[in-house]
């Protein structure tokens, strides 16, 4: 049987300590190693120069570090957005998008290779889900992008790339625990946003974790009839159950929920849709983010910034606050899944 080495990046400090002791080393070495991995973000054991050569060899024999290969780096010419297509160790690909804001950098990362949720407007779900990403791979998305920066820190992480984070629950929670750990990156949980299409039992489970992250829910339609059409997940977890889970999350974590609403011409952007949204969310202290749908050839949906602005005005007239999200990196296919999809199509055509 082949011995599969543990990805050392995935171990929380107490787990790393236990492993290091098991190997007959002093406990404090674990702290040094954690620092090399998560603060200095090194890519191999040789860089860990305050460890003896013998310990480095032992680590090499027992663990692995799996850096990602930057397969493509697309830089927007209209803003500072950078999109990475990363190659994973098994030949699969995922995407991350780095965005620059006034207050610093934010990175949108993928949580799965592909997606099983089947949203009708989304490029990530074409071809279905291939596999979950490990916590180590998600960290590598972050560290690879951070290493590319000469200065400035990525202090904000958005789990809004390829995949459904709550369909990869355990790995995502581990990732969040690692990235917020005070001995490592020490990111604030508040600076982490998790976006879900609405897996109700997992939202309820997440509310119990005691992690005050920001929850973003992809709504996109305010009636079951409409939402069933564009988001199959709604047939399993309809709107009443979803909104009640959101209220539960919000009251338990004391965090305001964001609802994402992508405008699609002739589907969900009429004045009557705004009224239905108002009826659904009335009295719930939440935020609504409006986004003109990104055109995906295979899906065929279109919208415009103008339609989003108009929808915002409809909502405002009803007393519902919403913002139209700045679309960053539109010239580099920054919508999730598009780059990976393009690569798959190009390979089919080769």
Catalytic residue positions, numbered = 95, 336
Query: Is 234 a residue that touches ligand SAH (CB under 6 A)?
Result: no
Q: Which is nearer to ligand SAH, 120 or 177 (CB)?
A: 120
- Given the rule CB under 6 A, which of 63-71, 99-107, 114-122, 207-215 is the region that contacts ligand SAH? 114-122
Tokens of 148: 């590319």
Tokens of 93: 């690909």
Query: Is 294 a residue that touches ligand SAH (CB under 6 A)?
Result: yes
Residues sharing a CB contact under 8 Å with residue 239, sequence separation 6 or more, in sequence order = 222, 223, 224, 227, 280
**Size of residue set near ligand SAH by CB under 6 A:** 18
Residue from 42, 32, 34, 10 nearest 143 by CA: 42
Given candidates 160, 243, 288, 307, which one binds ligand SAH under the rule CB under 6 A? 160
Query: Is 196 a residue that touches ligand SAH (CB under 6 A)?
Result: yes
Site pattern 244..263 for ligand SAH (x: CB under 6 A): ----------------x-x-
Backbone angles phi, psi at 12, to 5 degrees: -75, 160
Query: Is 141 a residue that touches ligand SAH (CB under 6 A)?
Result: no
- Given the rule CB under 6 A, which of 11-19, 115-123, 239-247, 270-278 is the region that contacts ligand SAH? 115-123
Q: State how beta strands 112-114 and 129-132 pair.
A: antiparallel
Given candidates 7, 137, 164, 191, which one binds ligand SAH under the rule CB under 6 A? 164
Longest dimension (CA), the chain: 69
* CA within 13 Å, CB half, 139: 31
| Least distance CB 146 / ligand SAH (angstroms) | 21
Residue-wise DSSP of 38-107: HTS--SSGGG-TTS-HHHHHHHHHHEE--PPEEEEEEE-SSSS-EEEEEEPTTS-EEEEEEEEETTEEEE
Instruction: Look up tokens 């999109």; give the residue.
Output: 83
In angstroms, the CA 195 to CA 115 distance is 13
Tokens of 8: 């050392």
In angstroms, the CA 347 to CA 350 distance is 5
In angstroms, the CA 175 to CA 161 distance is 15
Query: Is 335 a residue that touches ligand SAH (CB under 6 A)?
Result: yes
- Given the rule CB under 6 A, which of 36-44, 57-65, 136-144, 193-201 is the region that contacts ligand SAH? 193-201
Given candidates 88, 99, 145, 197, which one binds ligand SAH under the rule CB under 6 A? 197
Given candidates 82, 109, 122, 267, which one binds ligand SAH under the rule CB under 6 A? 122
User: Is 8 within 8 Å of 37 (Cβ atoms)?
Assistant: yes
Query: Is 121 a residue that touches ligand SAH (CB under 6 A)?
Result: yes
Q: Which is nearer to ligand SAH, 82 or 115 (CB)?
A: 115
In angstroms, the CA 327 to CA 222 distance is 23
| Cα angle for residues 308, 313, 317 (degrees, 5° grid) | 150
- Given the rule CB under 6 A, which of 54-62, 81-89, 286-294, 317-325 is the region that contacts ligand SAH? 286-294
| Least distance CB 80 / ligand SAH (angstroms) | 20
Q: Which is nearer to ligand SAH, 119 or 239 (CB)?
A: 119
Residue from 164, 144, 26 nearest 89 by CA: 144
What residue spans of 73-214 are helical by DSSP H?
135-148, 169-179, 200-207
Query: Is 296 a residue that touches ligand SAH (CB under 6 A)?
Result: yes
- Given the rule CB under 6 A, which of 74-82, 293-301, 310-318, 340-348 is the region that contacts ligand SAH? 293-301
Site pattern 47..86 for ligand SAH (x: CB under 6 A): ----------------------------------------
Query: Is 339 a residue that touches ligand SAH (CB under 6 A)?
Result: no
Q: Which residue ranges make up the site for ligand SAH (CB under 6 A)? A: 117, 119, 121-122, 160, 164, 195-197, 218, 260, 262, 291, 293-294, 296, 335-336
């Amino acid at each position: 049987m082949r011995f599969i080495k543990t990805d050392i990046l995935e171990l929380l400090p107490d787990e790393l300590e236990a492993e290091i002791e098991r190997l007959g080393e002093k406990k404090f070495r674990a702290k040094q190693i954690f620092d090399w991995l998560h603060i200095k973000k090194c890519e191999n054991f040789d860089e860990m120069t305050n460890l003896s050569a013998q310990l480095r060899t032992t680590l090499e024999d027992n663990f692995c570090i799996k850096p990602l290969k930057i397969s493509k780096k697309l830089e927007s010419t209209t803003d500072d957005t950078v999109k990475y297509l990363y190659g994973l160790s098994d030949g699969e690909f995922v995407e991350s998008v780095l965005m620059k804001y006034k207050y610093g950098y934010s990175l949108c990362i993928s949580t799965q290779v592909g997606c099983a949720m089947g949203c009708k407007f989304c490029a990530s779900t074409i071809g279905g889900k291939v596999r979950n990403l490990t916590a180590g791979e998600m960290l590598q998305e972050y560290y690879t992008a951070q290493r590319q920066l000469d200065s400035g820190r990525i202090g904000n992480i958005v789990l809004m790339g390829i995949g459904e984070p709550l369909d990869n629950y355990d790995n995502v929670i581990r990732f969040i625990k690692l990235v917020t750990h005070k001995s490592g990156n020490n990111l604030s949980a508040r600076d982490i946003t998790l976006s879900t299409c609405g897996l109700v039992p997992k939202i309820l489970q997440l509310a119990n974790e005691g992690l005050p992250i920001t929850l973003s829910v992809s709504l996109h339609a305010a009636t079951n009839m409409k939402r069933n059409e564009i988001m199959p997940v709604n047939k399993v977890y309809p709107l009443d159950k979803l909104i009640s889970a959101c209220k539960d999350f919000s009251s338990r974590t004391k965090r305001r929920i964001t609802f994402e609403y992508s405008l699609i011409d002739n589907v969900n952007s009429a004045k009557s849709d705004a009224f239905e949204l108002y009826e659904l969310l009335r009295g719930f202290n939440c935020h609504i983010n409006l986004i003109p749908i990104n055109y995906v050839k295979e899906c065929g949906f279109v919208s415009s910034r103008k339609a989003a602005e108009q929808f915002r005005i409809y909502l405002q007239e009803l007393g519902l606050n919403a913002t139209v999200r700045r679309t960053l990196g539109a010239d580099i296919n920054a919508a999730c899944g598009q780059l990976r999809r393009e690569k798959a199509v190009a390979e089919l055509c080769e």
